Chains A and B, each alone.
Chain A
Amino acid sequence: MTTGNPMMYVGAVGLIMIGLFTVLSKRNLIKIIVGLTLLDTGVNLLLVAIGYIHNRTAPILTQAHADPSKMVDPVPQALVLTAIVIGLGVTALALALAIRVYGHYKTLDTRKIRGLKW
């Protein structure tokens, strides 16, 4: 990788955009929730990419790699671990609500659900 290679950023921002666009423009609840998970994945990728440093290794000491000054930033990784689990919680709750909405309306189309039109 050359210095300043922005490919990771492009991937992360692209994923964020796809996710946001899915949430904003789709009318199927499950599709909207898929969009939310894509958005989450994109944000996580962005965070880890910000913590990356060239020519260093993972922040885990082993007998072979015992030099802390040759490791990437551990903080964003810790944050992303948290964020991934939170994302799963949100997704599960959203899906449960979607099942519930389906029970009331027999559809997931937001145009047909009174409170979800916009």
Chain B
Amino acid sequence: MIYIAILTVAMLVAGLAAYFFRDLIAAVVACAAVSLIASVLFYLLHAPDVAMAEAAIGAGLTTAIFVIAIRKTGRYEK
């Protein structure tokens, strides 16, 4: 299905964005996007449990603790 291809490409692009962004907050948001798309992919792979866990933990809480940690340290990658 074409959707899967589009989602996969979008996920990889988001992953590359997480690599390239100098602003760490932006990189973390890109990382959350990867998790979110991965969670949709999990759903399409008929793994609703995993999709829920990935959305709640991978995209939600992980991003939150990343953002807190970045606030406590430095925002930009030098």
CB nearest neighbor in B for A28:
B77
CB nearest neighbor in B for A52:
B45
Residue contact A30 to B24, C-beta cutoff 8 Å: yes
Size range of the chain B interface in the assembly: 35 or more
B-side binding surface: helix, strand, loop or mixed?
Answer: helix
Q: How many A-B residue pairs have CB under 8 A?
A: 138
A-side binding surface: helix, strand, loop or mixed?
Answer: helix
**Of A14, A28, A59, the contact of B12 (CB 8 Å cutoff):** A14
**Of A10, A28, A38, A84, the contact of B53 (CB 8 Å cutoff):** A84
**CB-CB < 8 A to A35: which residues of B?**
19
CB nearest neighbor in A for B37:
A11
Please, what's the 1-or-0 string for B13-45, where 1 marks a CB less than 8 Å from any CB in chain A? 001101100001001100100110010011001
Size range of the chain A interface in the assembly: 35 or more
Binding site for A on B (CB under 8 A): 1, 4-5, 7-8, 11-12, 15-16, 18-19, 24, 27-28, 31, 34-35, 38, 41-42, 45-50, 53-54, 57-58, 61-62, 65-66, 69-70, 72-74, 77-78
3 pairs of A and B residues whose beta carbons are closest in the complex:
A11-B8, A95-B69, A28-B77
In the assembled complex, 27 residue pairs joining A and B whose CB atoms fall closer than 8 Å, in A order, are A1-B1, A8-B41, A11-B12, A11-B41, A15-B11, A15-B12, A15-B15, A18-B12, A18-B19, A19-B15, A28-B78, A34-B24, A35-B19, A44-B38, A45-B38, A48-B45, A49-B45, A59-B46, A72-B46, A80-B53, A85-B53, A91-B65, A95-B66, A96-B69, A99-B69, A102-B72, A109-B78
